[in-house]
Amino acid sequence: MGATTRRWLTAAAAAVAALVLGAGTGRAAEREPTGPVQPTILTAALYSLGAPTIAPPGANDWNCKPSDRHPNPVLLSNGTTANAYENWANLSRKLADAGYCVFAGNFGGAPGSFLQTVGPIADTTKALAAFGDKVLAATGAAKLDVVGHSQGGMNVRYWIKYLGGAGKISRLVGLSPSNHGTDLFGLLSTLERIPGVPVALGTACQACNEQAVGSDFLTDLNAGGETVPGIQYTVIQTRFDDVVTPYTSAFLEAAPNVKNVLLQNVCGLDFTDHLGITYDPVAEGLVLNALDPAHAKTPPCVFVPPVIG
């Protein structure tokens, strides 16, 4: 064996050892495997059937250090039943390309399963908050910006109210968040009154029960004020939301640090629905504006059909 070969093998062994030591101490030594960019949530869901734990593109580079322009890493918070790749396999890449350190994880479901974010919202949010602490430690940042879809845009408010998030979060951007729950066009409210149905639904999806209009969880969350000073809140909602109904229930009560945006007031040609909003180009542009208002740009208005599936 030549000297050059020995040096190469020694270097390779050292690299492997570093990776192993990093994993063993809970320190991520490199970026996690990521999947490809997807055009819709449906194509992302199909891909993630075979890889439910893979990170969305551009996310979870644990060596990423925030820039002066974007000092806060962006944490993506999943909607009910969605895994991170399914929810964010387009926006995560756009955020990374814009210079952000982007992170996303899977919580509130069985480890490694396709369905996530279905357990009790408090438990899901505790896991999300712990992941956020890990992001802050790895990046050295003082605060996070959080972008959440549906439940993921609402549950962060539980983190802020009960889990110390008020001192760790700078901005919360909600895409069709379930801030005041949903009646699913009256269907969920009707089902909730049928004996045995809430228990059966809660067995499969406790988070679904907790997002019903008037639930104990939401009543407690919204009591005493829906926002706190020092955090900038942006809600981006579509008139054609078919999950959070009525669509106005996504909006937060008016405050100096709250901006409620109806997508169709920005682009009347946009017919995106609840599932499609995280892949909608107009909504993605509004997310970038909310995270960096000093460099905001009017998103191009393009025809966007609803997700059919």
**CA 113 to CA 272: how far, in whole Å?**
27
Q: For 266, what's the count of Cα atoms within 13 Å in the CB-facing half-sphere?
A: 27
**CA 115 to CA 286: how far, in whole Å?**
28
Per-residue confidence (pLDDT) for residue 5, from 0 to 100: 39
pLDDT tops 90 at residue 200: no
3-35: per-residue pLDDT in tens?
A: 433 433 333 333 333 333 333 333 444 779 999
- Predicted TM-score (pTM) of this structure: 0.86
168-198: per-residue pLDDT in tens?
A: 999 999 999 999 999 884 545 545 555 554 5
Asked if residue 114 lies in contact with residue 85, where contact means CB atoms within 8 angstroms, the answer is no
- Does the domain at 39-293 match CATH 3.40.50.1820? Answer given as yes
Domain boundaries, given as residue ranges, for the chain: 39-293
Q: Is the preceding peptide bond at 246 cis, omega within 30 degrees of 0?
A: yes
